[in-house]
Amino acid sequence: MEILVPEVGESIFEATIAKWHVAEGNRVSKDDLLCELETDKISLELHAEDSGTIHLNVEEGKTVKIGTVIATLIDSKNVAEAPKPTPRPESIAPQAEPAAVPAAPRKLAAVPTPSPAAPAPQPAVAGTPKTVDLPHPADDERVRRVPMSPIRKKIAAHLLAARQQTAMLTTFNEADMSRLMALRGEYKDAFQQKFGVKLGMMSFFVRAVVAALKAVPEVNARIDGDDIVYHDFYDMGIAVGGKKGLVVPVLRDADRLSSAEIETAIAEFSRKVQTNKLTLADLEGGTFTISNGGVYGSMLSTPIINPPQTGVLGMHNIIQRPVAIDGKVEIRPMMYLALSYDHRVIDGKQAVTFLKTVKEFIEQVDASLLEL
C-alpha cells in the first residue's frame, strides 16, 4: 500500500515531512501515527490505514509535492516476500604499507636575538605571573540555525505584507469588566450544567463585536482594487496560539450563534489546534478578527490586521485599577481594548465609534444573552 501526501486544499501544492513517528522497517498497526506534515497553512497528521511493515521513501525535513508517495506499507502476510533493502557494501581501502615518516624536527626554544634597534631581552624574574590567553569560543559555536517551518514562513510573509500594504494604525479604549465578571461568576455553573461547556469571556466579546460591526459596516469590509466590498455576514476569526504559531480559525455566521454555540465552537478550535486537527476549511475566509493577548498576560498591544480584513480587536488582561466613578476613586477590574484598522477604508471617527460600541456592550451586558 502506497502512502501519499493527501490533498488538503486547492491552494496547497506541497508539504514538508516535519517528523516521522516511525522508523524504517517498523511494524505498525491500523490508525498508528506515521508522520506529521506541514504546509504553509496547516499542520496535519498522517495515520496508517492498515497494519504492516513500513518502508520510508522520503527523509524527514524534505518538502514534496501533493500526491507524492512518501512511504510504502507492506501487508503483514506479504512481509516475508517483501524486498529487503540491500545494505550498501562499504568500500574497504587496501591497507598500504606504512610509509617512512621523516623524523619530526625537534623544536628548540626560540631565543630572541637582539637587533640593533631593539634592546636585549631581559631575563624572566622569578615569581612574575604569566599572562595566559584563554581560548575564546567562536561565535558559530554559540548560535543555532534552524530552518523556518512552512507555517512560520507563511506567518512571517503575511504579517510583513500587512504592515507594508495597509495604512494601519491603532486606537484604544478601556472597559470596566465588573458587570461581566459578576454575571459570569453567578451563572457559569448553571451554564455549564445546561450546555456542557464552560462560560468564558469570548462569547460576550463576539456578541459585542457583531453589534459594533453592524453599527460601523466599514470595519466589516475589504478593499478589492478600486472598490470597497462590504460584507453583510459576520465570519469572525478567533486567533488561537498553538505550538507552531498563531492560527486564526473562523467562526461562521457569528451573528446567528447562541452564547453556548460560540463557546462550544471556540473550545473545539482550541482542541484542534493542540492536536493538529485543524483543516483548511477551518481557516478560510473571515471578515474580522479577535485576538486575546490577555491569556498570555498582555496588558496593552497593537495587534496586526489579518489582510484582506480591515480591522482586528485586541483584548488584554484584566487588572484591578483605580478609576474615577461619580467623583470618587474606586478599584475596578479594567481591560484595555485596541482596534487596529486600515485607514484607507476606516476613518478615525468610525474606529472610535466601533470601539465605544464594544465597550458599552461589555459594560452593560445582560444575563438574557446566556439563554438559561
Domains of the chain: 2-78 (2.40.50.100), 150-370 (3.30.559.10)
Higher pLDDT, 39 or 336: 336
What grid cell was written down for 39? 504546509
Least confident of 111-115, 229-233, 251-255: 111-115
Q: What is the DSSP letter of 195?
A: H
Lowest-pLDDT range, 24-33, 148-157, 230-239, 257-266? Answer: 148-157
pLDDT at 100 exceeding the cut of 50: no
* Cell 516476500, located at residue: 81
Confidence of residue 340 (pLDDT cuts 50, 70, 90): very high
Cα dihedral: 112, 117, 120, 122 (round 10): -90
Report the C-alpha gap between 124 and 326 in whole angstroms.
85
Residue-level pLDDT at 349: 96
Q: Does pLDDT of 313 surpass 50? A: yes
First to last CA, the chain: 53
Which pLDDT value is given to residue 81? 47
Residue 137 pLDDT = 66
Between 349 and 74, the higher pLDDT residue: 349
162-174 average pLDDT score: 94
Other Cβ atoms within 10 Å of 216 Cβ, number: 22
- Does position 40 have pLDDT exceeding 50, yes or no? yes
The CA distance from 8 to 44, in Å, is 9
pLDDT at 80 over 50: no
What is residue 7's predicted lDDT score, i.e. its pLDDT?
Answer: 82
Catalytic residue, candidates 31, 47, 189, 343:
343
pLDDT at 109 over 70: no
β-strand pairing of 33-38 with 168-176: unpaired
At 246, is the pLDDT very low, low, confident or very high (cuts 50, 70, 90)? Answer: confident
* Contact status, residue 171 vs residue 351, Cβ threshold 8 Å: yes
Average pLDDT, the chain: 84
At 134, is the pLDDT very low, low, confident or very high (cuts 50, 70, 90)? Answer: low
Average pLDDT over residues 250-275: 93
Name the pLDDT band for 257 (thresholds 50, 70, 90): very high
Residue 129 pLDDT: 58
Which triple of cell numbers denotes residue 141?
559555536
Whether the Cβ atoms of residue 55 and residue 43 lie closer than 8 Å to each other? no
- Structure confidence by residue, pLDDT tens digits, 50-59: 899 999 999 9
CA–CA gap between residue 169 and residue 305 (Å, rounded): 9
* Weakest-pLDDT range from 57-71, 110-124, 300-314, 318-332: 110-124
Higher-pLDDT residue of 117 and 55 is 55
pTM of the shown model: 0.73
Helical H segments across the chain, by residue range: 150-165, 178-195, 202-215, 259-274, 280-283, 348-363
Is 108 a residue whose pLDDT tops 50? no
* Mean pLDDT along residues 266-271: 92
pLDDT at 130: 62
Catalytic annotation present for 343: yes
Nearest-CA neighbor of 305 among 190, 189, 222? 222
Please state, for a pLDDT cut of 90, what percent of the chain lies above it: 54
Q: For 110-127, what is the mean pLDDT?
A: 51
Asked whether the predicted pLDDT for residue 31 surpasses 70, the reply is yes
Q: What percent of the chain has pLDDT over 70?
A: 82
Q: Is 37 helix (H, G, I), strand (E, B) or coil?
A: strand
Give me the catalytic one of 40, 158, 347, 366: 347
Report the pLDDT averaged over residues 159-164: 89
Q: Is 139 a catalytic residue?
A: no
Residue 95's identity, in one-letter code, is Q
Ranges of beta strands (E only) in 80-203 are 168-176
Confidence bin at 126 (pLDDT 50/70/90): low
3-15 mean pLDDT = 79
